Chains A and B, each alone.
Chain A
Amino acid sequence: MKKIVVLLVMFFLTFVVVGCVGVVTTTTTTQATTTTTASTQSTTTQSQGTTVSGQTTLPTTTQPTTTTAKVVMDLPDDEVEILFWHIYGQEKSALLDELIADFEAMYPNVTIVSTSQSDYDTLREKINLGISVGQVPTMALGYPDHFAAYITTGAVQPLDTYINSNVRYELTDPTSTIFDQGYVDVALDIEDYLPGYLAENNQYIGGFYYSLPYSKSTETMAVNRTVLKAHVDDIRALGITISDEGFFSHETPLTFEDIQKLSTILVNETDSTDVANYQCAYLINYDSPGNMFINMSRQWNAGYTNIQGEILINNQITKNMLNYTKAMFDARTLVLPVEWSEGYGSAYFMTGDVCMTIGSTAGVNYNIPTGTDDNEQFGKFEVDFLTVPQTVTQETNNTAVTISDGTNDYNITGSLSAVQQGPNIGVFSNASANEKLFAWLFIKWLTTSENTARWAMDTGYLPVRLSSYSSTTPIELTPTFSITYDDFMGIAQTYWNEEGLITKRDISASDSFRVSSQWIELAADSLTGLGSFNIEEGEMTEPIISKYIETTGTTKVLEIYNGTGAELDLSAYTLGLYADGSTTPTATLTLSGTVADGDVFVIYNSTDAAVIAEGDLENATVMAFDGNDVLVLKKGAAIVDSIGQISKTADFAKDVTLVRFGNLVWEPTNEYWDYLYKSMVANIAKNQADYYRYDPAFAAGSGSAGSAQVRVEAGYCLENIYTAQYTPEGALSFMLNQLVWG
């Protein structure tokens, strides 16, 4: 016993002694660092001084950066350590780490320490605490209201000096991976960022950019297309455009007027789902009541908050809006997750209790039914994504109109609006001039057209740059799958163009041939499915090329599929080879024999027994393509189908097995289609980007709560109305009481 106690005391004493030594040493080092911070601070104030003077002389119009003469100097090569705080766990930070490694290779004197602070609240709390003692990271992720609070203490660096800088740094370190490029410009093409994101990031005091967009998302509406498909005629009778396959327009949003009409068809009389009649218990679930309140306020031009921190909700338009919303709650047209005491309604969308659901674009995967759950009343139904419903149309945008909730009419002048959300990235002013410079260059690097597209596809966020949407640089998403953002957007477009079905494609040689938009690429040398092909729906008048195999060996195979609905005599068809950019056929093969309906005809050049077993016709002249050669199937003089583009010489299909979209379409193993839903929401987001709106961000003041709190209370307000705890007026005044103290 005694020994143990003595041991404990000894242990404690050592601990205290070590601690004291630690204190002594650290205080001395702290003193040392204090002096250095003092010196860096003087440079900081200097740079801030220039910012301020730069701002006062700057007119509000953006400076034309192209004509500005460059001030050229050497890039600082002192060792710089940048501390970047975010909240990405190991999984997401894998890509971030790659981008950091690339950046460090570009600037070998820079080390970026990227640290996750687990969640946004912890991150903000630590920065707020850190500001009081001068311990803030060089740069951090944050929501606009976080930055608004940091700005009140002067802790954030305005980025305008960098954006409009005319400084060009010459690269002096030959080990840099971009040394050949010669120089790096500080300035940034700010015009290339989505205007909505820019407005959000310079809404702060003085109109400075205190942050730049990084991980952005918006809301989208997932719909149960299987249910819609069953009511196509009824929906058309209401005057709403819908395709035979149950697709609404992906550009023109539905209005709440449309939604109310749809509700009469799609919502069951009792509050339960009727599978036989394709009716749900509720029409639309809105995941975030806070977003719903804000978005509806904007759509009604009701006034919500402003950047001065004034809370403008106490007005008649807001009251009308809430009454209008309540009417939709009562009709089961709208439902909030509070109905099921949940935070999200996705589970109830999948089970079929609700036909449509509005949620974050980043949460797409939560809305796709699995087909394995017995509770999914519609089974594995088909899902489509739409823009969020609007109160007014593109035509009645900002014009006086009268809308009705069935009992009351309201005169409004509304606007189109969809929320934009997601964190931004900013730099703290405490850092040294060099740290800030490289932090800035790092932000530039993270948001290059290609990197932001890559980040978006990898994480489910959206690109922050306009040019990303048309980017044609292939991006590797998995070791076996690469795609450009343009083609990524094309996944959904193809699906929508084809009405969710793969039918005959009219492809001519003049079409620009893109593997990803019409073909599925299998692993090199794969013979998977050779000898059989099937397209479930649709009729075609001509055969198509269904498989193309160009192996790493000598085997070449081409498979032709007859989906015409009758037996086909092939003797009318020829297959031409246009080798190495030739504009005339270098070899021609006249086909022979017949092929039954739904069957394939295999032409081959191979000694592989597996190929010969499936083969119908052997040939060595046309079947000598090697990856850059074009193949054209003709009936007489008319082109029926082709692979590649005549006159092009690039290797577009070397060492690959290509399979035409067909019965493979719904195979979940196919990576291309794995991105279908992500692609859909990316398209939706792009289509509603014109009317993105953001929350004015402000910190809590002496008389009222901060913007984050207003959003939370706005959510409670709608929930209180939904649960009939309060009348709309009552809920609104309760909300005001919670927010305004002055």
Chain B
Amino acid sequence: MAEVFVKNEKVYKAKKIAFNIATYVFLAAIAIAVLIPFYWMLLTSLKTEELMLRIPPILFLKPEDWEISNYYKLFEVVQSGPRRGEPLFPFFDYMRNTIIVSLVTTAGTLITTVLSAFAFARLNFKGRDIMFAVLIGTMMIPGEIFVLTNFLTINSLGWYDIMDQTFMDVLFAMTLPFMTSVFYIFYLRQTFKQIPNELYYAAKVDGTTDFQYLLKIMIPVALPTIVTITILNSMGAWNAYIWPAIITTKDEFRLVSNGLRGAFTDTSTGRTDFGQQMASATLVTLPLLILFFTFRKQIMRGVSRSGIKG
């Protein structure tokens, strides 16, 4: 009997090990797939033009072959002319603009999303469901179509004055059209709906107002979803390209995404200096990585908790 048990345990152990190996191999494969673009970015940023063009491509680079000039070229200054001494590539200005724009957009989005999701999930008013259906319907319209209408709106609001655009104009123009998102409203409404009605009635009996109920009960319960929305929305703002390119008239107002696109292309031949482009991409990614590693626990908790129903 005992032998059988031992044997079974052995089989079980072997199976477990095999399963673990399979899992880790699978995870490692996925991890590699995810990491390769980042690795490639880093690798390219450390290659000289000549190494970059090598065929077959060089996959590993010894530290002594690293070409860090791509990095310090980013911080070169203009050598001659009236702009002498100014940075060739105003990297920090672009970063600052991107950070400000994504913070403002995200804050605005959160406020509109939470309030309207609450209204659609909890409050009873006439035409609520029709309004919601119309809102959902607008999701069918591709975002690019809004570029022209948004442009006309922003222009008539006076925020696109090409002779004299201020940073506040640009900030409003870049953030306001993106301060609501039907998808996030829909997403959060579904989360809110899962919160049992009993909690609402109990709170009402205790004399809380709707707003207090939203603040004290709903937001804490739906926090994981809100965190997700925050992350997704900041990412969207960080990656925005077409709209910021159209609405900014001056170089100093540009976001990192637009700056990266144009700055390293030789305008006379249309060729791009990939080394420098990747070096700057690495620098753009760096703050996000630092942010992630610092707040790893909080972010992971948010993501893992989002599976648990309130």
A and B: partners? Answer: yes
8 Å CB contact of A116 from B104, B251, B268 = B251
How far does the alpha carbon of A461 sit from the alpha carbon of B269 in the complex, in Å?
10
Are the CB atoms of A8 and B161 closer together than 8 Å?
no
8 Å CB contact of A15 from B53, B108, B148, B163 = B108
Are the CB atoms of A19 and B176 closer together than 8 Å?
yes
Q: Which residue of A lies closest to B52 (CB)?
A: A347
Q: Does B135 contact A (CB under 8 A)?
A: no
Are the CB atoms of B111 and A119 closer together than 8 Å?
no
Are the CB atoms of B258 and A133 closer together than 8 Å?
no
> Which chain B residues border A613 with CB–CB below 8 Å?
none
The answer to whether A135 and B262 touch (CB under 8 A), given A97-B82, A372-B50, A460-B268, is: no
Q: Does A524 contact B (CB under 8 A)?
A: no
Smallest CB–CB gap between A343 and chain B, Å?
A: 8
8 Å CB contact of A119 from B88, B215, B265 = B265
> Which chain B residues border A92 with CB–CB below 8 Å?
267
**Please, what's the 1-or-0 string for B178-215, where 1 marks a CB less than 8 Å from any CB in chain A?**
00000000000000000000000000000000000001
Are the CB atoms of B158 and A27 closer together than 8 Å?
yes
Within 8 A of A (CB), among B92-131: 104, 107-108, 110-111
Q: Which residue of B lies closest to A374 (CB)?
A: B54
The answer to whether A459 and B268 touch (CB under 8 A), given A12-B111, A98-B81, is: yes
Q: Does B263 contact A (CB under 8 A)?
A: yes
Are the CB atoms of B268 and A217 closer together than 8 Å?
yes
**Please, what's the 1-or-0 string for B52-95, where 1 marks a CB less than 8 Å from any CB in chain A?**
01110000000000000000000000111111001111000000
Smallest CB–CB gap between A287 and chain B, Å?
A: 9
Are the CB atoms of A129 and B261 closer together than 8 Å?
no
Instruction: Give the interface size class of chain A.
Output: 35 or more
Q: Does A667 contact B (CB under 8 A)?
A: no
Smallest CB–CB gap between A214 and chain B, Å?
A: 12
Smallest CB–CB gap between B196 and chain A, Å?
A: 21
8 Å CB contact of B261 from A91, A119, A363, A372 = A119
The answer to whether A133 and B155 touch (CB under 8 A), given A22-B169, A461-B268, is: yes
> Which chain B residues border A372 with CB–CB below 8 Å?
50
8 Å CB contact of A129 from B50, B151, B168 = B151
Residue among A18, A23, A89, A459 with the highest chain B CB neighbour number at 10 A = A89
The answer to whether A122 and B219 touch (CB under 8 A), given A8-B110, A94-B83, A373-B54, is: no
The answer to whether A115 and B168 touch (CB under 8 A), given A5-B215, A135-B161, is: no
8 Å CB contact of A94 from B53, B79, B156, B162 = B79
Are the CB atoms of B215 and A2 closer together than 8 Å?
yes
Within 8 A of A (CB), among B122-169: 148, 151-152, 155-163, 168-169
How far does the alpha carbon of A9 sit from the alpha carbon of B251 in the complex, in Å?
32
Smallest CB–CB gap between B148 and chain A, Å?
A: 7
Smallest CB–CB gap between A365 and chain B, Å?
A: 9
Are the CB atoms of B269 and A360 closer together than 8 Å?
yes
Q: Does A90 contact B (CB under 8 A)?
A: yes
How far does the alpha carbon of A383 sit from the alpha carbon of B104 in the complex, in Å?
55
Are the CB atoms of B249 and A115 closer together than 8 Å?
yes
Q: Does A536 contact B (CB under 8 A)?
A: no
Q: Does A571 contact B (CB under 8 A)?
A: no
Smallest CB–CB gap between B297 and chain A, Å?
A: 18
The answer to whether A2 and B216 touch (CB under 8 A), given A12-B107, A15-B108, A118-B245, is: yes
> Which chain A residues border B267 with CB–CB below 8 Å?
87-89, 92, 119
How far does the alpha carbon of A461 sit from the alpha carbon of B160 in the complex, in Å?
33
> Which chain B residues border A90 with CB–CB below 8 Å?
78, 83, 86-89, 263
8 Å CB contact of B104 from A15, A23, A91 = A15
Are the CB atoms of A26 and B83 closer together than 8 Å?
no
The answer to whether A26 and B111 touch (CB under 8 A), given A360-B268, A363-B269, is: no
The answer to whether A83 and B89 touch (CB under 8 A), given A15-B104, A360-B268, A363-B269, is: no
How far does the alpha carbon of A151 sit from the alpha carbon of B158 in the complex, in Å?
26
> Which chain B residues border A1 with CB–CB below 8 Å?
215, 219-220
> Which chain A residues border B39 with CB–CB below 8 Å?
none
Smallest CB–CB gap between A13 and chain B, Å?
A: 9
Q: Does A370 contact B (CB under 8 A)?
A: yes
Q: Which residue of A lies closest to B111 (CB)?
A: A12
Q: Does B235 contact A (CB under 8 A)?
A: no
**Interface residues of chain A: helix, strand, loop or mixed (majority):** helix
How far does the alpha carbon of A243 sit from the alpha carbon of B16 in the complex, in Å?
77
> Which chain B residues border A422 with CB–CB below 8 Å?
268
Q: Does A366 contact B (CB under 8 A)?
A: yes
How far does the alpha carbon of A5 sit from the alpha carbon of B115 in the complex, in Å?
11
Within 8 A of B (CB), among A1-30: 1-2, 5, 8-9, 11-12, 15, 18-19, 22-23, 26-27, 29-30
Are the CB atoms of A118 and B261 closer together than 8 Å?
yes
Are the CB atoms of A94 and B78 closer together than 8 Å?
yes
Q: Which residue of B lies closest to A364 (CB)?
A: B269
Q: Which residue of A lies closest to B254 (CB)?
A: A118
Are the CB atoms of B251 and A126 closer together than 8 Å?
no
How far does the alpha carbon of A344 sit from the alpha carbon of B87 in the complex, in Å?
30
Residue among B83, B89, B160, B162 with the highest chain A CB neighbour number at 10 A = B162
How far does the alpha carbon of A88 sit from the alpha carbon of B262 in the complex, in Å?
9
Are the CB atoms of B148 and A129 closer together than 8 Å?
yes
> Which chain B residues border A339 with CB–CB below 8 Å?
none
> Which chain A residues border B309 with CB–CB below 8 Å?
none
> Which chain A residues border B50 with CB–CB below 8 Å?
370, 372-373
8 Å CB contact of B163 from A9, A83, A93, A129 = A83
Q: Which residue of A lies closest to B155 (CB)?
A: A133
> Which chain A residues border B151 with CB–CB below 8 Å?
129, 133
How far does the alpha carbon of A27 sit from the alpha carbon of B265 in the complex, in Å?
38
Q: Does A95 contact B (CB under 8 A)?
A: yes
Q: Does B172 contact A (CB under 8 A)?
A: yes
Smallest CB–CB gap between B6 and chain A, Å?
A: 55
Q: Does B29 contact A (CB under 8 A)?
A: no
Are the CB atoms of A136 and B162 closer together than 8 Å?
yes
> Which chain B residues border A118 with CB–CB below 8 Å?
245, 254, 258-259, 261-263
Smallest CB–CB gap between A431 and chain B, Å?
A: 10
Are the CB atoms of A9 and B111 closer together than 8 Å?
yes
Smallest CB–CB gap between B152 and chain A, Å?
A: 7
Are the CB atoms of B157 and A83 closer together than 8 Å?
no
Residue among B87, B110, B251 with the highest chain A CB neighbour number at 10 A = B251
The answer to whether A130 and B162 touch (CB under 8 A), given A87-B262, A115-B251, is: yes
Q: Does B296 contact A (CB under 8 A)?
A: no
Q: Does A81 contact B (CB under 8 A)?
A: yes
Are the CB atoms of B269 and A366 closer together than 8 Å?
yes
Q: Does B10 contact A (CB under 8 A)?
A: no
**Please, what's the 1-or-0 string for A111-129, where 1 marks a CB less than 8 Å from any CB in chain B?**
0010110110010011001
Smallest CB–CB gap between A158 and chain B, Å?
A: 22
> Which chain B residues border A87 with CB–CB below 8 Å?
262, 267
Are the CB atoms of B268 and A347 closer together than 8 Å?
no
Q: Does B291 contact A (CB under 8 A)?
A: no
8 Å CB contact of B162 from A97, A135, A215, A375 = A135
How far does the alpha carbon of A11 sit from the alpha carbon of B109 in the complex, in Å?
12
Q: Does A414 contact B (CB under 8 A)?
A: no
Are the CB atoms of B158 and A30 closer together than 8 Å?
yes
How far does the alpha carbon of A83 sit from the alpha carbon of B162 in the complex, in Å?
8
Are the CB atoms of B268 and A215 closer together than 8 Å?
yes
Q: Does B250 contact A (CB under 8 A)?
A: yes
Q: Which residue of A lies closest to B160 (CB)?
A: A135
15 contacts between A and B (CB under 8 A): A22-B169, A23-B158, A27-B158, A83-B162, A83-B163, A88-B267, A90-B88, A118-B245, A118-B261, A118-B262, A132-B152, A362-B269, A363-B266, A363-B269, A373-B50
Residues of A whose CB lies within 8 Å of any CB of B are 1-2, 5, 8-9, 11-12, 15, 18-19, 22-23, 26-27, 29-30, 81, 83, 87-95, 97-98, 100-101, 113, 115-116, 118-119, 122, 125-126, 129-130, 132-133, 135-137, 215, 217, 340, 344, 347, 350-351, 359-360, 362-363, 366, 370, 372-373, 375, 422, 459-461, 479
Residues of B whose CB lies within 8 Å of any CB of A are 50, 53-55, 78-83, 86-89, 104, 107-108, 110-111, 148, 151-152, 155-163, 168-169, 172, 176, 215-216, 219-220, 245-246, 249-251, 254, 258-259, 261-269, 271
